[in-house]
Amino acid sequence: MNIDYGQLIPNNVDLASDRTLQRALERWQPEFLGWWKDTGPVKSNDLQVYLRTAVSVDRDGWANFGYVKMPDYRWGIFLNPNDPERKIHFGDHKGEPAWQEVPGEYRSTLRRIIVTQGDTEPASVEQQRLLGKTAPSLYDMRNLFQVNVEEGRHLWAMVYLLQRYFGRDGREEAEYLLQRRSGDTNNPRILGAFNEQTRHWIAFFMFAFFTDRDGKFQLSSLAESGFDPLARTCRFMLTEEAHHMFVGESGVARAIQRTCELMAEHKISDPRDARKLGVVDLPTLQKFVNFHFSVTLDLFGSEISSNAATYYTTGLKGRYEEAKKADDHELKNDTYPVPQIENGQIVVKDVPALTALNCRLRDDYIKEIQGGLDRWNRIPEKLGIPFRFKLPHVGFHRAIGSFAGHHVSPDGEVMTESEWNSHRAEWMPNEEDHAYIDSLMGQVIEPGKFANWIAPPARGINSQPIDFEYVRFN
């Protein structure tokens, strides 16, 4: 098979002159397409979707819009431009030139970091594969597919690193990335949240708001890495990630908007009664906030972690916005406050800052998430509805870290397992909630029309009108 690399795989890594990498990609590309056809969006292969495709990393090149059949999408390989002067700016190697090749002593750790990041990308495509069938509008269907093809491109980005820098075992890992499946009992995806089902559009929007934002924070700290190709790859991925979080935040906001509008119009005071109007009531949305927030916090790992300390001191993974933090970027003498449970009480303890880096990244994440909730809360406020969304306590419903095995209420009260379980259905989406939301979902394909449960967006994509034909069916 002959591939015109400049054309079919847009790239800025000079693929045409790298024979080994070409051969590896030649083998991998058909397998990727096989994976896409198997586990990508169902019944989507013939749809013409108004997609954004990156063809270069400059301002004009990264956002080219046009109709594309998704299997023909040009999944490219893009790294932010090289800065030959770049230095490692934290940890034990601070001040040394950034690595252009993998340092031997960190090889297996780096490979693990890249594989773990890479594994989340195809996982979310698998989780979302059925959603096109219940898209509430063409605009939303297009956004879903945009997220899906870009997660596919993020997989390419990680596979590029594995194949280019890790030789044979990198190539093997690239194959395994196409073999694991979200939710599979024998061969699941690596991280828990990526094996959860994305059952309907509320789950999808919440996932894109909460979990894609975890992606942003992980990518941001890898964008600081001393391993320069990883840093540059992640920088470019972040430009695409912003759209995924927009889809999530605005999607939830539009559901809130619609519910509040109808509540105001019908003078409904008990938010639970909103279901009579065929919309998602605000207390149910709060349950989804509780669920998605808590499972996403688990993705940050244990609050206290010697691995996190090692990643930092060895220069592999920095902090969020490392360069903007005003300290010595070594953290050997610093401490950081970490909440934990002691004798049935939540206490905050100062621990060595290096071991608390997961907790710190999580705290940075929570700040941004809180900003999103504040924006959501302006909607009921404007419409005179007294309901407000609230993040649950960090210890609520946790499976990883110092709260795992404990039972903490959304308000931060430590309780017994049976007490906690007796409240579970108030705090987390239960089967009845899911079934109710399922009952609202149905595909709307008339341009400019939206399902009853969601408000139209404020504006269209790429300055197109809201009633633009974002997906064509022939």
User: Binding residues for Fe ion, per CB under 5 A?
Assistant: 121, 151, 154, 212, 244
In 9-93, the DSSP E strands lie at: 48-53, 64-69
Q: 149 or 357: whose CB is closer to Fe ion? A: 149
Is residue 336 helix, strand or coil? strand
Strands 345-352 and 335-342: antiparallel
Kindly state the smallest distance separating residue 144's Cβ from Fe ion, in Å. 12
Of the pair 40, 380, the CB lying nearest Fe ion is at: 40
* Rounded Cα–Cα distance for residues 110 and 306 (Å): 16
C-beta of 249 vs 433, nearer to Fe ion: 249
Joined tokens for residue 100? 């252009």
DSSP track, 161-221: HHHHHSHHHHHHHHHHHHH--TT-SSS--SSGGGGS---SHHHHHHIIIIIHHHHHHHHHH
Distance CA 439, CA 202 (A): 12
CB of residue 244 to Fe ion, shortest distance in Å: 4
Q: The sheet that has 48-53: what strands, in order across it?
A: 64-69, 48-53, 471-472
Which of residues 176 and 436 has its CB atom nearest to Fe ion in the complex? Answer: 176
Question: Taking the complex as a whole, how short is the minimal distance between the CB of residue 158 and Fe ion, in angstroms?
Answer: 9
Nearest-10 Cα torsion for 403, 408, 413, 415 = -110
DSSP 342: E
**CB of residue 153 vs Fe ion: minimum separation in angstroms?**
8
Nearest CA to 318 out of 369, 346, 360 is that of 360
Least CB distance from residue 191 to Fe ion, whole Å? 13
Closest CB 439 distance from Fe ion, rounded Å: 28
Q: Which is nearer to Fe ion, 154 or 235 (CB)?
A: 154
DSSP secondary structure letter of residue 414: B
The two three-digit tokens of residue 38, written as one number: 């198997």
In the complex, least distance from residue 95 CB atom to Fe ion, rounded to whole angstroms: 32
Contacts of 198 (CB under 8 A, 6+ apart): 124, 127, 128, 131, 204, 207
> Would you tell me how many other CB atoms lie within 10 Å of the CB of residue 319?
23
d(CA 448, CA 426): 36
Least distance to Fe ion, CB of residue 252, Å = 16
Minimum CB–partner distance for residue 263 and Fe ion (Å)? 32
**Residue closer to Fe ion, measured from CB, 39 or 335:** 39
H helices of 266-356, in order, are 282-298, 306-313
Residue closer to Fe ion, measured from CB, 117 or 314: 117
345: its two tokens:
């009480």
If the CB atoms of residues 154 and 362 are measured against Fe ion, the closer one turns out to be 154
Question: What span, in angstroms and rounded, lies between the C-alpha atoms of 297 and 398?
Answer: 8
CB of residue 241 vs Fe ion: minimum separation in angstroms? 5
Residue (124 or 286) nearer to Fe ion, CB = 124
Nearest to 90 by CA among 303, 362, 323: 323
Cβ proximity to Fe ion, 216 vs 275, nearer residue: 216
Q: Give the shortest CB-154-to-Fe ion separation in angstroms.
A: 4
Question: Which is closer to Fe ion, CB of 40 or CB of 315?
Answer: 40
Q: Is the dihedral of CA 360, 362, 368, 371 positive or negative?
A: negative
